[in-house]
Structure 1
Amino acid sequence: MAETTPSVPPRVFEHDSRKDWGRSVLLVEIPDKRTFLFEDGAERSFRPDYWHKMELVELQPNEAVRIDRLARRNQAPAPGSGRKSKAPPKKPDITFEQQVAYFMKLYPVGFEDEAYIKAERGEAGTKAGEKLKEAALERAEEQLSRKRVSKMVDGDLIDELHQLAYEFLVGTKSTVQKAEATRFKNMPAEARIGFAESLRELLYGDRSYPIRFDSFVAALDVEGGPTWPLATLLQALVYPTDHLFVKPTFMKKQALILDIDPKYDTTPNSTTYEQFMKAGQKTMELLQEAGQRPRDMWDVHTFICKTLSPKAIKEATGAE
């Protein structure tokens, strides 16, 4: 069900010289102090002679509500709220060494195996590989370049950019489910400009990455809310060595195997994404130490998915 917007949306502020803090909501207002909660998760208080630095940001009501929720994500629970801490998630019954051994059983030559390349990477420019990784990366380099994205945003080609993003969602095999892509396609017309601007900021902005990621998620006005695959595909295609496409079921397992707390939330957020990136980077390092040659984070993603399905874990560990 789509989220409803309050009749009076929250006020959103931004410090005139500290854009890196992100936008904020007003928490406390008393005669000699105002306290704001920023997108970077920090609370900051200002005396009256600094209040003029906090500028009111004009936003659509839906966007203001999302910024308010994002800013409050890391807020500590109120005393006596009764929020219980969850039991730590169970580590999967497989070691990293068993993952590698199982992957080599599937692809004896590793990431250079002909069967792996044919099934996962493909060859750009061929019909058989048009929905696989190499073709998608080639398209992204051209069609989601800084110049082209900026031209579309500045030229008011918002619907065209939205359609282009949709084509990547449905045109990249084994990434975003069709139902997710359809919900994205049905994004309200009035929300698409926010999506377009936040996509440009995500890919090419100057603010800190966590703020850019959370702002992008906030702009994904889709029924039922954005999913991890929807929130992470485009950046992973533009920056395949620096960013990770996330299927959370698999990434949670990999993080736990490597003793990394995923700090998981079903709603995409920068805190969890940073933990997933730590797990992905560590997996890359360990694969290289094991003599493997992953090209980028897409190979890391595929390795994780191929070795951490229930069937794979059972076969890799000999469990009954």
Structure 2
Amino acid sequence: MAESTPSVTPRVFEHTSRKDWGRSVLVLEIPDKRTFLFEDGAERSFRPDYWHKMEIIEVQANEAVRIDRIARRNQAPAPGSTRKSKAPPKKPDITFGQQVAYFMTLYPVGFEDESYIKSERGVAGAKGREKLKDAAIERAEDLLSQKNLDELTGNRSYEEIHQMIYEFLTSTKSTTQKAEATRFKNLPEDSRETVALALRELLYGERTYPIRFDSFVAALDVEDGATWPLTTLLSALVYPADHLFVKPTFLKKQALILDIDPKYDTTPNSTTYMQFLEAAKKTMELLQEAGQRPRDLWDVHVFICKTLSPKAIKEATGVA
């Protein structure tokens, strides 16, 4: 029999030797076959002699429901079903070449442009630099280092970690909104240890990054739920060349321009994040091929945001 819908907390499974597939839910069980939907979007079936490879794992109830919902959303309608497949999202009316051309009207020297560095990265000694990207990355290298987090968690200094995260949320320009930071500040006290340990695992754990990301999201017991900026800022500051700060409105557009369907969900999740990351890394490659020199994924983030606002698309394409 198939796993029930999330009126009851779903069981969550993981393949013992293919952690890269992510977690899964059981959607079909018959005498000679079990079929699972995985977080990577794939449906996989196993014969009885492989059933032992699929182990039940413990996750928080809200995370189990999220995994079930994401998996079933990606499931194709059954034969004869009246449910229609969701129409693919519309690609923005701008090409990548037009994005680059528009960016160059803003910053004629590209990412090395003096005005770009002054407004986005920060100039040493300049007023306001402490709010910009390079200063935030420098603080993260120190405060969010494995050594510092291990020391703080070892001393059970969970309140200090909570305050440190809050300061990152409020001190980096053009990232998280004040309301997001306030909701995090008001995180229930009995959740702060869980968040601190989940952050340490997110940044330095040994499990695959998608699993660590989803665990961090599940730990954030904030009012109205965690947001994409809240869940992606810290990794992007610690690993600016490898991880991405997500403002989903813009990243959805960029992914579609590059023919990547991000399977978007308003709730942060690893499936969508990894596709956003794929889009950002592809954007970096295309920028380099176009003669640009982005330093890291923060430069890619700024490029995407500067060129994909409604005003930018209108000005870049001349289409009202």
Q: TM-score, normalization: structure 2?
A: 0.83
> Which residue number in structure 2 is paired with residue 243 of structure 1?
243
CA–CA separation in structure 2 for the residues paired with 1:16 and 1:260:
29
Of 71, 76, 91 in structure 2, the residue corresponding to residue 74 of structure 1 is 71
Question: For the Cα contact (< 8 Å) 1:26–1:35, is it kept in 2?
Answer: yes
- Over residues 283-316 of structure 1, what are the superposed CA-to-partner deviations in whole Å (9 max), with x where a residue is unaligned? 1011111111000000000001001111111111
Question: For the Cα contact (< 8 Å) 2:40–2:271, is it kept in 1?
Answer: no
CA–CA separation in structure 2 for the residues paired with 1:249 and 1:197:
30
CA–CA separation in structure 2 for the residues paired with 1:319 and 1:222:
41
> Which residue number in structure 2 is paired with residue 206 of structure 1?
206
5+ residue gaps, structure 2, are: 1-5
Question: For the Cα contact (< 8 Å) 2:76–2:85, is it kept in 1?
Answer: no
- Over residues 5-41 of structure 1, what are the superposed CA-to-partner deviations in whole Å (9 max), with x where a residue is unaligned? x9x9777788999877777778899999999987777
Q: How many residues are matched?
A: 310
Cα drift, residue 114 of structure 1: 0.6
CA–CA separation in structure 2 for the residues paired with 1:10 and 1:87:
27
Question: For the Cα contact (< 8 Å) 1:39–1:67, is it kept in 2?
Answer: no
Identify if the C-alpha distance between structure 1 residues 28 and 161 changes in structure 2 by more than 3 Å, giving closer, same or farther.
farther
| SS of equivalent to 1:88 | coil
Cα drift, residue 106 of structure 1: 0.6
5+ residue gaps, structure 1, are: 1-5, 58-62
Q: TM-score, normalization: structure 1?
A: 0.83
Per mean C-alpha deviation after superposition, the further-off stretch among 216-225 and 13-22 is: 13-22
| SS of equivalent to 1:130 | helix
- Over residues 122-159 of structure 1, what are the superposed CA-to-partner deviations in whole Å (9 max), with x where a residue is unaligned? 13554421100010000000000011112112221111
Identify if the C-alpha distance between structure 1 residues 192 and 22 changes in structure 2 by more than 3 Å, giving closer, same or farther.
farther
Identify if the C-alpha distance between structure 1 residues 226 and 84 changes in structure 2 by more than 3 Å, giving closer, same or farther.
farther
Amino acid of the residue matched to residue 175 of structure 1?
T
Cα drift, residue 189 of structure 1: 1.1
Identity value in percent? 70
- Over residues 176-215 of structure 1, what are the superposed CA-to-partner deviations in whole Å (9 max), with x where a residue is unaligned? 1111111111111111122111111111111111111111
- Residue 158 in structure 1 maps to residue 143 in structure 2: no
Cα drift, residue 54 of structure 1: 5.7
CA–CA separation in structure 2 for the residues paired with 1:115 and 1:91:
31
Identify if the C-alpha distance between structure 1 residues 86 and 22 changes in structure 2 by more than 3 Å, giving closer, same or farther.
closer
> Which residue number in structure 2 is paired with residue 3 of structure 1?
none
> Which residue number in structure 2 is paired with residue 275 of structure 1?
275
> Which residue number in structure 2 is paired with residue 264 of structure 1?
264
- Residue 64 in structure 1 maps to residue 56 in structure 2: no
Amino acid of the residue matched to residue 294 of structure 1?
P
Amino acid of the residue matched to residue 120 of structure 1?
E
Amino acid of the residue matched to residue 191 of structure 1?
S
Per mean C-alpha deviation after superposition, the further-off stretch among 81-90 and 107-116 is: 81-90
The alignment's C-alpha RMSD in Å is: 3.3
Amino acid of the residue matched to residue 313 of structure 2?
I
Identify if the C-alpha distance between structure 1 residues 101 and 19 changes in structure 2 by more than 3 Å, giving closer, same or farther.
closer
Written as runs of structure 1 = structure 2, the 5 A alignment for 1:163-202 is: 163-202=163-202
Question: For the Cα contact (< 8 Å) 2:39–2:71, is it kept in 1?
Answer: no
